Structure 1
């Protein structure tokens, strides 16, 4: 089975007030009729409960590619510290925003410390620049956070820059779109 997920992740490792933030986004999306307010069994993660795709999603760009009528079509909100990377051909390359040196090996080796919640930050081994791990540069979109919005079956081209900006405004942090395709 071909699995597509578009995952929207705020660019902060530890977003406070997860419940309030996630509920605000779900209310907004359901108010736009992009998703149903009630949960159903249309998700792929965990217990499969998700907010099904709504009729309002038909007005999104490339709406003909959306999973209307498919068993897995819903939004699942993840509130666990997680790493989001592409599943195909992920290169594990990263750069320092300060010195512009390649630091991918060291950064990805540090993820055990990040996952354990010991620190949200990574320090560049080349120049000593320290920032939230999301502040480093990645060749392929990936993200690290305790909050994510997983859209099952939704291709990334359905998320316009304007929609991503609206997400960011509501959460107070820039968003990264990670595409997972098996």
Structure 2
């Protein structure tokens, strides 16, 4: 079985007071017993994550598929600029908001502008217009932010939980499904 994740990512390249918001979200998740308050080696990262807890059953669309028996089963909180990509799911389409062309099959060097923290924009390789990265349409969805919450090997999250999470963040989000 391969690992997968669901990331909730604000649609903001630079999230204001990201460390404060990360702690606020963690405290909320702990208060609902969705994750445990202490970290452990439960994520695919060099850092530790927050282990899944019994309350996760209340926010999962399929609680019987939650990874209680898996080593990799926790929450990773990211507070550094990161491209939240789909892994083996790849990219089927990438539509420029200016020229409306699909640029998914172009040389992806244009993504380095954002990844190297030179800009919050992408310059379309076809029309050469720079536009905020969040205006491009990625299929499947990708995320671009310096804040993100990745749930490792969890089953689908409920719409109400995603709505509550979005409200806590105070902005639109991307939901990124990654297969490794």
TM-score by length of 2: 0.88
- SS state of the match for residue 37, structure 1? coil
Give the CA RMSD over aligned residues: 2.1
- SS state of the match for residue 30, structure 2? helix
- SS state of the match for residue 40, structure 1? coil
Q: CA deviation at 1:19?
A: 0.5
8 A contact 1:92–1:108 mirrored in 2: no
Q: How many residues align?
A: 179
Change (3 A) 1:6 1:126: same
Report the equivalent of 1:26. Answer: 26
Report the equivalent of 2:113. Answer: 113
Q: Which runs of 5+ in 1 are unaligned?
A: none
Report the equivalent of 1:15. Answer: 15
Distance in 1 between the 2:55 and 2:84 partners? 27
8 A contact 1:164–1:175 mirrored in 2: no
Alignment of 1:18-167 (within 5 A): 18-47=18-47, 49-59=48-58, 60-91=60-91, 93-105=93-105, 108-124=108-124, 130-155=130-155, 157=156, 159-167=157-165
Distance in 2 between the 1:146 and 1:32 partners? 25
- SS state of the match for residue 38, structure 1? coil
Q: Which runs of 5+ in 2 are unaligned?
A: none
- SS state of the match for residue 162, structure 1? helix
Q: CA deviation at 1:98?
A: 4.5
Distance in 1 between the 2:172 and 2:104 partners? 22
8 A contact 1:93–1:104 mirrored in 2: yes
8 A contact 1:13–1:132 mirrored in 2: no
Distance in 2 between the 1:89 and 1:39 partners? 29
8 A contact 1:40–1:51 mirrored in 2: yes
Distance in 2 between the 1:103 and 1:171 partners? 30
Which ranges of 4 or more aligned residues in structure 1 deviate by more than 6 Å?
none
Distance in 2 between the 1:84 and 1:92 partners? 15
- SS state of the match for residue 6, structure 2? strand
Change (3 A) 1:120 1:106: farther
Larger deviation, residues 61-70 vs 129-138? 129-138
